[in-house]
Amino acid sequence: MFAFSTGQISGTLLNLSSIRVDLMNKSKGAPKVRVLIFDTSKSPKATVFDQTFTIEPYSGDFRTISPENFPDHFEVVVRSNEQNIVPNVSLFTMVPVMMIPYGDLFIWEPDPDSDPLES
């Protein structure tokens, strides 16, 4: 399993309207990808968005998430069973506010034998 995380983001001052997660598959396989958004203002953190889907080989996909109420603090996590998934996260008000490119995401492989679509 491979996971990418923005870490905790404070949404209070940004007055966000949506989050866009762009995903590029740079492999010849069609991996499953799971996009999650957590409300980190609570402990334990709560899931705000959770969607699993497949990305075709050498192509891309995206998800635009617009929750009714953005949490004060949140985290965007992308999990996949393929290392060659390249995520980019953009935060929007009426215009793009911030883009968190692939190189700025935390990347980890907690357990190579685990299922990235679980937990």
Mean local confidence (pLDDT), 57-67:
92
What the chain holds in terms of domains, given with CATH numbers, is: 2-108 (2.60.290.11)
pLDDT at residue 37, rounded to an integer: 94
Q: What is the chain's mean pLDDT, rounded?
A: 84
Instruction: Give the C-alpha separation, 66 to 87, whole Å.
Output: 18
Residue among 22, 16, 12, 9 nearest 67 (CA): 16
Its pTM stands at 0.80
- Within a 10 A sphere around the Cβ of 76, how many other Cβ atoms? 23
pLDDT at residue 98, rounded to an integer: 63
Structure-model confidence comparison of residues 57 and 101, the more confident one? 57
**Partners of 87 in beta bridges:** 23
Structure-model confidence comparison of residues 110 and 47, the more confident one? 47
Yes or no: say if 47 and 36 are a contact pair by the CB < 8 Å rule: yes
Q: Read off the pLDDT band of 95 (50, 70, 90).
A: low
Mean local confidence (pLDDT), 84-91:
90
Share of the chain above pLDDT 70, in %: 76
